[in-house]
């Protein structure tokens, strides 16, 4: 389960990383970061590159949250949020955020390359096939919207779609050549190593229990030590509230951590592999109850999904995803899943990512709605600039107040049933 140790494919195939020390005694830094996922680590790397003294405190181990458990699709768009909405909601900062999103996949691949991070990166493109003819109109509207903002993206017609997927189940869709996929745990650990090489300090197994203002700065407290710093980034995202119920509860209660499952088939033989997504693109379709899949470096097909009722979860989710894959790709036969794992996606009620200023020099970002791999890496660059004193007016960080969700504990239990609504909505024409 999400709160236990990860027993994922990524854990098994990724080279181990040395364990960083526990925070003990008194430490000082210009910037303290809480949370060792892609957001925190990318911020640490970019701050260290700028010459700042930065310390990152992770409650478990680097990549323990969503960053080490995800599907690894590098996608330069947001989920269910079109660029015009970001601009209309957030004004100039929203326009800059649209620019950041559209460049985010390219940025991730180039950063991994320049830092020499081996993360089994494949920039093979990202494809969003339409699951109905009506949704094909949505894909066209998306392509139009993104190309008007000079993103590199285009439509694939039905024939090209069938050829790309090796399946007749979809109708065409939006293709973006800058996307692709990575091994997310290798990327996260690689960013941690790169941050340390650049001068950042990382503490692991150090759950933060309190962040309090002390004069002009902040004190980050764990059971065994304290970090004193001028500025703080809280980068706990969907895992906010997971290790400490009292740490900035208004942030934990402002998002819905939704449990989602991942699974990996056995490595496919070459004949099967060449007949299913032969170009090895990352694929996630237009449904709310998403169909998505990509290969890993050993030709395992990695897919996933969610459940409404959590009873017998592992066997039921395997059956559901197996049926869906076999339905779309009869040539696959019945897949055998060697690895099944889960993680929490940080969902916001308006489906927008949220950025909050929690005090002077104290910031957070939450709620990437399942599209955080590329986004978080670029946001790290943005937060590093902010924390190093760059004027907010130049940055892609639109601020809002955290708005705790009412009856959060109950809403959290009911969040899974949103899948029922998504399944119903998937059968209806989309709003254009
Ligand atoms: C199953 C799954 C599949 C996904 N697939 C994709 C995908 O294919 N493509 C995509 O773009 N996005 C995907 N996502 C979303 C993506 O993984 C996340 O948006 C992204 O990893 C968020 O990174 P983060 O650094 O903000 O948060 P996280 O990686 O969750 O990091 C937060 C960290 O904070 C730590 N923490 C929490 N509380 C404390 C505390 N009190 N003290 C110290 N540390 C603390 C946690 O241990 C954790 O390591 C997926 C998510 C999941 C769960």
Q: How far is the CA of 237 from the centre of ligand 1 (A)?
A: 6
Residue 32 contacts by C-beta under 8 Å, 6 or more apart in sequence?
A: 54, 55, 56, 57, 218, 220, 227, 229, 231, 232, 233
Closest CA to 32 of 238, 237, 201, 244: 201
Reported pTM: 0.97
pLDDT value at residue 277? 98
Residue nearest to atom 16 of ligand 1 (CA): 372
What is the pLDDT of the chain when averaged over all its residues?
95
CA distance linking residue 303 with residue 284, whole number of Å: 10
Closest CA to 78 of 380, 394, 347: 347
Closest CA to 161 of 130, 123, 135: 130
Only one residue has tokens 């592992």, namely 314
The band of 67, judged by pLDDT with boundaries at 50, 70 and 90, is very high
Q: What is the pLDDT of residues 294-338, one digit of tens each?
A: 999 999 999 999 998 888 999 999 999 999 999 999 999 999 999
What single string gives the DSSP state of each residue in 182-211? --HHHHHHHHHHHHHHTT-EEE-S----EE
Residue nearest to atom 32 of ligand 1 (CA): 236
Closest CA to 165 of 322, 301, 366: 301
User: Can you list the alpha helix ranges (DSSP code H) found in 115-197?
Assistant: 133-148, 158-165, 184-197
Q: How far is the CA of 233 from the centre of ligand 1 (A)?
A: 15
Atom number, ligand 1, closest to the C-alpha of residue 244: 41
Atom number, ligand 1, closest to the C-alpha of residue 344: 53
The band of 373, judged by pLDDT with boundaries at 50, 70 and 90, is very high
Q: How far is the CA of 135 from the centre of ligand 1 (A)?
A: 29
Q: How far is the CA of 155 from the centre of ligand 1 (A)?
A: 31
CA distance linking residue 130 with residue 9, whole number of Å: 29
Angle between helices 133-148 and 83-114 (to 10 degrees): 70
Which whole-number Å values give the CA distances from 385 to 52, 85, 308, 410, in the listed order? 11, 25, 41, 38
CA distance linking residue 59 with residue 139, whole number of Å: 40
Q: How far is the CA of 102 from the centre of ligand 1 (A)?
A: 21
Q: How far is the CA of 60 from the centre of ligand 1 (A)?
A: 12
Q: What is the pLDDT of residues 156-203, one digit of tens each?
A: 999 999 999 999 999 999 999 999 999 999 999 999 999 999 999 999
Q: How far is the CA of 212 from the centre of ligand 1 (A)?
A: 24
Q: How far is the CA of 169 from the centre of ligand 1 (A)?
A: 31
CA distance linking residue 84 with residue 169, whole number of Å: 30
Closest CA to 348 of 320, 327, 322, 369: 369
Q: Is 379 within 8 Å of 104 (Cβ atoms)?
A: no
DSSP state of 396: S
Closest CA to 40 of 155, 163, 204: 204
Closest CA to 5 of 86, 53, 47, 60: 60
Choose one of 207, 236, 375 to mutate for the ligand 1 pocket test, by most ligand atoms within 8 angstroms of C-beta. Answer: 236
CA distance linking residue 266 with residue 343, whole number of Å: 21
Give the CA-trace dihedral at 333, 177, 263, 350, to 10 degrees: -130
Q: Is the pLDDT of residue 5 over 50?
A: no
CA distance linking residue 294 with residue 264, whole number of Å: 10
Q: What is the pLDDT of residues 93-137, one digit of tens each?
A: 999 999 999 999 999 999 999 999 999 999 999 999 999 999 999
Query: How big is the chain, counted in residues?
Result: 432
Q: How far is the CA of 388 from the centre of ligand 1 (A)?
A: 24
Residue nearest to atom 50 of ligand 1 (CA): 70
Q: What is the pLDDT of residues 258-293, one digit of tens each?
A: 999 999 999 999 999 999 999 999 999 999 999 999
Q: Is the pLDDT of residue 2 over 70?
A: no
Q: Is the pLDDT of residue 62 over 70?
A: yes
The band of 407, judged by pLDDT with boundaries at 50, 70 and 90, is confident
Atom number, ligand 1, closest to the C-alpha of residue 366: 26
Q: How far is the CA of 36 from the centre of ligand 1 (A)?
A: 9
Q: Is 128 within 8 Å of 164 (Cβ atoms)?
A: no
73-74 and 180-181 beta bridge pairing: antiparallel
Q: Which two tokens stand for residue 379?
A: 């946001």
User: What is the enclosing helix (H) or strand (E) of 317?
Assistant: helix 313-328
As for ligand 1, residues whose beta carbon falls within 6 Å of it are 34-40, 57-60, 64-67, 69-73, 75, 207-208, 235-239, 242-244, 247, 260, 262, 343-345, 368, 370-374, 376
Atom number, ligand 1, closest to the C-alpha of residue 343: 53
More confident residue, 420 or 94: 94
Atom number, ligand 1, closest to the C-alpha of residue 206: 43
Atom number, ligand 1, closest to the C-alpha of residue 60: 47
Atom number, ligand 1, closest to the C-alpha of residue 365: 26
């Amino acid at each position: 389960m999400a709160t236990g140790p990860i027993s994922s494919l990524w854990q098994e195939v990724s080279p181990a990383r040395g364990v960083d020390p526990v925070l003990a005694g008194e430490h000082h830094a210009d910037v303290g970061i809480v949370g060792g996922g892609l957001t925190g680590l990318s911020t640490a790397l970019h701050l260290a590159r700028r010459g700042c003294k930065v310390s990152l405190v992770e409650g478990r181990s680097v990549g323990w949250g969503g960053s080490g458990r995800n599907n690894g699709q590098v996608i330069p768009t947001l989920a269910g949020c079109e660029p015009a909405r970001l601009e209309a909601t957030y004004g100039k900062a929203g326009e800059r955020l649209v620019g950041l999103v559209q460049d985010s996949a390219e940025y991730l691949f180039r950063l991994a390359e320049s830092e020499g991070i081996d993360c089994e990166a494949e920039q093979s493109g990202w494809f969003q096939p339409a699951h109905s003819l009506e949704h094909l109109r949505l894909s066209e509207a998306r392509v139009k919207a993104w190309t008007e903002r000079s993103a590199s993206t285009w439509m694939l017609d039905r024939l090209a779609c069938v050829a790309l997927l090796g399946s007749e189940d979809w109708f065409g869709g939006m293709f973006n050549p800058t996307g692709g996929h990575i091994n997310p745990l290798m990327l996260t650990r690689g960013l941690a190593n790169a941050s340390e090489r650049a001068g950042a300090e990382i503490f692991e197994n150090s759950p933060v229990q309190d962040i309090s203002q002390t004069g002009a700065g902040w004190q980050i407290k764990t059971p065994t030590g304290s970090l004193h710093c001028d500025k703080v980034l809280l980068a706990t995202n969907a895992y906010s509230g997971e290790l400490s119920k009292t740490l900035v509860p208004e942030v934990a209660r402002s998002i819905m951590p939704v449990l989602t499952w991942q699974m990996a088939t056995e490595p496919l033989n070459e004949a099967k592999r060449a007949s299913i997504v032969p170009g090895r693109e990352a694929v996630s379709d237009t449904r709310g109850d998403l169909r998505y899949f990509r290969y890993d470096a050993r030709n395992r097909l990695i897919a996933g999904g969610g459940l409404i009722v959590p009873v017998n979860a592992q066997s039921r989710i395997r059956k559901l995803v197996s049926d869906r894959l076999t339905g779309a790709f009869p040539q696959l036969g019945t897949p055998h899943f060697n690895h099944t794992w889960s993680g929490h996606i940080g969902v916001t009620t308006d489906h927008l990512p949220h950025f909050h200023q929690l005090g002077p020099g104290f910031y957070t970002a939450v709620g990437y709605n399942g599209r955080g791999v590329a986004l978080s890496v670029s946001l790290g660059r943005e937060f590093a600039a902010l924390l190093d004193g760059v004027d907010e007016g130049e940055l892609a960080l639109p601020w809002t107040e955290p708005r705790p969700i009412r009856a959060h504990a109950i809403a959290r239990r009911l969040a899974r049933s949103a899948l029922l609504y998504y399944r119903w909505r998937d059968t209806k024409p989309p709003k254009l």
